[in-house]
Amino acid sequence: MGEAEVARQPFSSEFRSALWDAANTLRGSAVDRTDWKGYILPLLFFKRISDVWDEETAEAHEIYGEADPSLFPEVHRFVLPEGCHWKDIRSVPANVGAALQKAMQEIERANPDTLFRVFGSADWGNKEKFSDELLKDLIEGFSEIGLGNTTVSTDVLGDAYEYLVGKFADVTRRNKAGEFYTPRSVVRMMVEILDPKEGESIYDPACGTGGMLLGAIEHVMRKGGDPRTFYGKIYGQEKNLTTAAIARMNLVLHGIEDFQVA
């Protein structure tokens, strides 16, 4: 494990506190508590995309000096359309939900192969659910948390998902709390039993947030295999739209390319 990997905090107390604060912000709103993760996680992903973009821009400055970084789009993993950065939404004075929804839609449209429907179907523009004040509180709460590659583990969304489900899923209402996640220890055991090999196809018919798919890839990497041999051979299926979107986010954040989650 390299020094940069050691420096990353997979799930720091600061980040856990930010998640708790976000949940408290939504408490008392018109959003059902079992749906909170469907709003908090897309916000986190939007912040992470923006932070990674900033890191890549800083690296471009080091490589190319004072040249305009926009002349070198290859330094970025994603296209971030003008006006769609986290900072742009943070500075919006009114109609924050509409601006946030537009930014997320523009990012999805600009990255159709990797970010199709990745932000889910949250109705940010619904002012009965999200007043400007509430959204500004949510955005400010995450603004001080760094979510770039040099700051957090790539599995930060998986950690956040497990935390939110564990804290706020209502297990007495099965129609709302059906997304029971499989603990990672169980995922690791199942992957060890399956023992996937480099270059094989991977399919999970109830993939949830993508933990089993990622576990299989990481299993091969631990044995010295090349994860790129899985590109084009990774398949997942998930009934819940929000959970399927989280699976796509997780795979993208792990640098996995050319996969299908239906």
| % of residues, the chain, pLDDT over 70 | 87
pLDDT of 110: 94
Residue 175 has pLDDT above 70, yes or no: no
- 187 and 165 in one domain? no
Q: Work out the pLDDT band at 43, boundaries 50, 70, 90.
A: very high
- 169 and 226 in one domain? no
pLDDT of 174: 47
- 117 and 91 in one domain? yes
Amino acid, res. 240: N
105's CB contacts (< 8 A; 6+ apart) are: 119
Residue 125 has pLDDT above 80, yes or no: yes
Residue ending a domain, among 173, 195, 229, is: 173
pLDDT tens by residue, 48-58: 899 989 998 88
CATH of the domain at 56: 1.20.1260.30
- 199 and 124 in one domain? no
Q: Which of 71-85, 145-159, 176-190 is most confident? A: 71-85
Residue 38 has pLDDT above 60, yes or no: yes
| % of residues, the chain, pLDDT over 90 | 35
Q: What is the 8-class DSSP label of residue 9?
A: B
Residue 11 has pLDDT above 70, yes or no: no
- 97 and 38 in one domain? yes
- 14 and 37 in one domain? yes
Residue 71 has pLDDT above 80, yes or no: no
- 95 and 7 in one domain? yes
pLDDT tens by residue, 188-227: 899 999 999 998 999 999 998 888 998 999 899 899 999 8
- Cβ burial 108-138 (10 Å sphere, 16+ → b, else e): eeebeebbeebbbebebeeeebbebebbbeb
- 245 and 127 in one domain? no
- 186 and 142 in one domain? no
- 198 and 161 in one domain? no
Which one has a higher pLDDT value, 246 or 261?
261
Amino acid, res. 138: L
Span 139-151, mean pLDDT? 88
* Number of structural domains found in the chain: 2
Residue ending a domain, among 173, 191, 223, is: 173
- The answer to whether the beta carbons of residues 226 and 257 sit under 8 Å apart is no
CATH of the domain at 258: 3.40.50.150
pLDDT tens by residue, 244-260: 877 887 787 677 878 99
pLDDT tens by residue, 81-120: 999 999 999 999 999 999 999 999 999 999 887 788 888 8
Report the predicted TM-score, pTM, of the whole model to 2 decimal places: 0.75
Q: Work out the pLDDT band at 169, boundaries 50, 70, 90.
A: low
pLDDT of 181: 63
Which one has a higher pLDDT value, 98 or 156?
98
- 161 and 92 in one domain? yes
- The answer to whether the beta carbons of residues 240 and 223 sit under 8 Å apart is no
Residue ending a domain, among 173, 198, 213, is: 173
Instruction: Work out the mean pLDDT of the chain and round it to a whole number.
Output: 83
> Residue 105: which domain range?
1-173
- Cβ burial 34-71 (10 Å sphere, 16+ → b, else e): bebbbbbbbbbbbbbbbbbbbbbeeebeeeeeeeebee
